[in-house]
């Protein structure tokens, strides 16, 4: 007996599926667990295509030494999203006696700031060529809006001179902003968009400022403060509201939206008391290390993968029902890399691989699963309106069909009861013998964290423990691939889904 029915019409194309989720922040060029490759290359294997970074953050004379970040991103086949920050020498000395310390006044000389941006983009063009640089995104300052940040009028001045400097160096360069960080500052965004479209440009004296993309940062909160556990609907709401603001500006109809920093929960290892994971009341966690706190477990286990896939499916759902919805790049923000000496695995950090052993996080398997979807979305309907289980159905040029189903429970400690979905795929272009593959991420599959817990949550695993954990770190099949006979172009299967689980069913022509 099934709890709900999901029907897929493989012959009804809804639209193309662009991998808008394929972004990351903080490119890590240290060695990953996978041989001698940098993490940017490791993540390229699971479909990541953009990395957001402050590539040339120092003085111009230091830029040649900083090139290796851009080189690593390009070597992986990816593109940078470059953060351009105001250099320290252009900021005023902040003294208590004459300058308020709770606001950022911006550069003391806007012309020198414009020249700095021009010099940076010119350097990049000379280093990598104009055609390559024209494919990058260049954004003005990280998170200017906030109670202790930059006033709107000052940021507009900064942005105008930023855009002027970048366009002096390369007229076809893509510039954007304002990289606001929270929902509370969306009015800042609206006013900034109005300035770029209707107001006098502080750098040129003309009306209007170039804006090639809009950038937003969004986090789903932090457990124990805003709500018990972070929910994808929070980020979806930010995207929906930002898309509305963009739609109010007729000149920005085709302007992309980059959620170029997002996270399931904010803070690197911050706990709800503002301290560091493993520290309670000023005391170190167990075994003297960075012991994980209970409310950070969502970062290490299947919750994170289900969150990602649910977020992507909900954005697709919104795009189907509201024509103004935008989400062109989502860049998840990891914070923390490898520490093979003092590190601890699964310490509640925002990591791609665990600190000490480099075990692949379940979230990475979520990216790999999404990367296996086809390039055309096809119709998917459900018998349930609550969207307890959501999904995406796609097909590829070779006729293969991929169906992703997500059950996101919103609580990593929910009782592991199963719901059964009756999946029907109709109008397949496949017939005869078809290979069926069923990939799964849940508590028991594709989950290095669960394997680590089964080994006793070792501070630093022994070789035998590490081998047992590594055997469960990659994306797994729920059951061995099988061949089924399909004569009526219809496939039916009962799919059991525990809480916080993702299934991917792939139907493809049997290899001869």
Examine the domain organization and report whether 28 and 55 are in the same domain: yes
Examine the domain organization and report whether 398 and 300 are in the same domain: no
Residue (of 356, 362, 392, 358) closest to 376 by Cα position:
392
Examine the domain organization and report whether 289 and 431 are in the same domain: no
Examine the domain organization and report whether 390 and 499 are in the same domain: yes
**5 found inside a domain:** no
How confident is the model over 181-207, as pLDDT tens digits? Answer: 866 678 889 999 999 999 999 999 999
Q: In sequence order, which ranges of 20-76 are alpha helices (DSSP H)?
A: 39-44, 63-75
CATH code for position 95: 3.20.20.80
- Higher-pLDDT residue of 279, 308: 308
Examine the domain organization and report whether 385 and 432 are in the same domain: yes
Handedness of CA 221, 227, 229, 230 (dihedral sign): negative
Which of 326, 342, 370 corresponds to the end of one domain? 370
Residue (of 162, 214, 169) closest to 188 by Cα position:
214
Structure tokens at 97: 């006696």
Measure the CA–CA gap between 307 and 406, rounded to whole angstroms. 9
Q: What is the DSSP letter of 471?
A: T
CB 175 within 8 A of CB 117: no
**Per-residue pLDDT, 293:** 63
How confident is the model over 378-433, as pLDDT tens digits? Answer: 999 998 877 889 999 999 999 999 999 999 988 877 788 899 999 999 999 988 89
Collapsing DSSP states into helix, strand and coil, what is residue 235?
Answer: helix
DSSP string, 93-129: P--TTTS-TTS----S-HHHHHHHHHHHHHHHHHHH-
Structure tokens at 285: 């966690």
**192 found inside a domain:** yes
Structure tokens at 334: 């990891």
Residue (of 141, 86, 80, 139) closest to 116 by Cα position:
86
Examine the domain organization and report whether 234 and 380 are in the same domain: no
Strands 376-382 and 419-426: unpaired
Backbone angles phi and psi of 432, in degrees to 5: 75, -145
**Per-residue pLDDT, 108:** 86
Measure the CA–CA gap between 269 and 275, rounded to whole angstroms. 8
Which of 370, 396, 411 corresponds to the end of one domain? 370
- Higher-pLDDT residue of 272, 512: 512
pLDDT surpasses 90 at 134: yes
Measure the CA–CA gap between 285 and 269, rounded to whole angstroms. 13
Examine the domain organization and report whether 158 and 133 are in the same domain: yes
Examine the domain organization and report whether 330 and 380 are in the same domain: no
Average pLDDT, the chain: 88
DSSP string, 297-359: GGGTSHHHHHHHHHHHHHHHHHHHH-TT---SEEEE--B----TTT--SS-S-B-SB-TTT-P
Strands 257-263 and 213-219: parallel
Which of 370, 386, 409 corresponds to the end of one domain? 370
Collapsing DSSP states into helix, strand and coil, what is residue 481?
Answer: strand
**8 found inside a domain:** no
Measure the CA–CA gap between 90 and 115, rounded to whole angstroms. 11
Measure the CA–CA gap between 506 and 144, rounded to whole angstroms. 44
**Per-residue pLDDT, 272:** 37
**427 found inside a domain:** yes
Residue (of 422, 296, 387, 298) closest to 8 by Cα position:
422
Domain that holds residue 492: 375-509
CATH code for position 462: 2.60.40.1500
**Per-residue pLDDT, 392:** 98
**Per-residue pLDDT, 256:** 96
Examine the domain organization and report whether 342 and 419 are in the same domain: no
Collapsing DSSP states into helix, strand and coil, what is residue 509?
Answer: strand
CB 124 within 8 A of CB 73: no
Residue (of 213, 122, 204) closest to 166 by Cα position:
122
Mean pLDDT value across residues 474-478 = 97
Residue 331 CA from chain centroid, whole number? 3
Measure the CA–CA gap between 475 and 492, rounded to whole angstroms. 23
User: How many C-beta atoms lie closer than 10 Å to residue 36's C-beta?
Assistant: 7
- Could you give the number of structural domains in the chain? 2
Collapsing DSSP states into helix, strand and coil, what is residue 272?
Answer: coil
Confidence category of residue 160, pLDDT binned at 50, 70, 90? very high
Mean pLDDT value across residues 2-15 = 94
Measure the CA–CA gap between 362 and 303, rounded to whole angstroms. 8
**101 found inside a domain:** yes
Measure the CA–CA gap between 386 and 284, rounded to whole angstroms. 43
Instruction: Give the percent of the chain with pLDDT over 90.
Output: 66
pLDDT surpasses 50 at 100: no
Examine the domain organization and report whether 115 and 252 are in the same domain: yes
**3 found inside a domain:** no
**6 found inside a domain:** no
**7 found inside a domain:** no
Examine the domain organization and report whether 404 and 363 are in the same domain: no
How confident is the model over 54-97, as pLDDT tens digits? Answer: 999 888 999 998 999 999 999 999 999 999 999 888 877 554 44
**Per-residue pLDDT, 139:** 97
pLDDT surpasses 90 at 50: yes
DSSP string, 123-179: HHHHHH-HHHHTTSEEEESS---STTS--HHHHHHHHHHHHHHHHHH-TT-EEEEEE
Confidence category of residue 281, pLDDT binned at 50, 70, 90? very low
Examine the domain organization and report whether 267 and 384 are in the same domain: no
Structure tokens at 70: 């851009």
């Amino acid at each position: 007996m099934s709890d709900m029915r999901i029907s897929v019409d493989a012959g009804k194309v809804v639209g193309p599926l662009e991998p808008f989720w394929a972004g990351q922040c903080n490119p890590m060029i240290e060695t990953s667990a996978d041989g001698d490759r940098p993490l940017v290359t490791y993540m390229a294997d699971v479909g990541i295509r953009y990395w957001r970074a402050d590539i040339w953050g120092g003085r111009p004379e230091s830029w040649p030494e900083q090139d290796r970040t851009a080189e690593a991103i390009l070597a992986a086949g990816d593109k940078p999203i470059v953060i351009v920050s105001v250099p320290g020498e252009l900021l005023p000395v902040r003294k208590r006696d004459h300058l308020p310390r709770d606001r950022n006044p911006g550069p003391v000389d806007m012309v020198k700031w414009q020249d700095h941006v021009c010099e940076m983009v010119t350097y990049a063009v000379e280093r990598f060529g104009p055609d390559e640089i024209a494919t990058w995104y260049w954004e003005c300052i990280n998170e200017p809006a906030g109670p202790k940040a930059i006033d709107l009028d000052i940021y507009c001045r900064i942005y105008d001179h930023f855009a002027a400097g970048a366009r002096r160096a390369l007229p076809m360069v893509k510039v954007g902003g304002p990289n606001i960080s929270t929902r509370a500052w969306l009015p800042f965004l609206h006013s900034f968009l109005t300035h770029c479209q209707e107001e006098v440009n502080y750098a040129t004296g003309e009306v209007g400022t170039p804006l090639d993309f809009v950038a937003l940062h969004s986090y789903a909160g932090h457990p124990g403060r805003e709500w018990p556990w972070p929910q994808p609907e929070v980020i979806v709401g930010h995207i929906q509201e930002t898309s509305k603001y963009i739609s109010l500006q007729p000149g920005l109809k085709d302007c992309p939206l980059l959620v170029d920093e997002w996270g399931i929960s904010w803070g690197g290892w911050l706990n709800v008391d503002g301290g560091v994971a493993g520290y309670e009341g000023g005391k170190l966690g167990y075994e003297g290390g960075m012991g994980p706190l209970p409310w950070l477990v969502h970062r290490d286990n299947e919750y994170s993968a289900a969150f990602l896939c649910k977020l992507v499916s909900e954005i697709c759902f919104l795009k189907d029902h509201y024509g103004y919805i935008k989400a062109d790049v989502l860049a998840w923000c990891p914070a923390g890399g490898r520490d093979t000496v003092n590190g601890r695995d699964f310490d509640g950090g925002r990591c791609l691989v665990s600190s000490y052993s480099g075990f692949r996080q379940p979230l990475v398997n979520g990216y790999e699963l999404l990367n296996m979807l086809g390039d055309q979305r096809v119709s998917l309907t459900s018998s349930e309106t609550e969207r307890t289980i959501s999904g995406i159905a796609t097909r590829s040029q070779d006729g293969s069909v991929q169906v992703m189903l997500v059950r996101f429970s919103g609580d990593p400690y929910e009782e592991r009861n199963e719901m059964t979905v009756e999946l029907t795929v109709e109008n397949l272009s496949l017939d005869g013998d078809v290979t069926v593959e069923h990939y799964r991420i849940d508590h028991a599959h594709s989950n290095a964290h669960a394997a680590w817990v089964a080994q006793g949550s070792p501070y630093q695993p022994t070789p035998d423990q590490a081998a047992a954990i590594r055997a469960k770190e990659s994306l797994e099949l729920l059951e061995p691939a099988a061949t089924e006979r399909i004569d009526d172009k219809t496939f039916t299967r009962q799919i059991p889904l525990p809480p916080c689980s993702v299934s991917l069913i792939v139907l493809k022509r049997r290899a001869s």
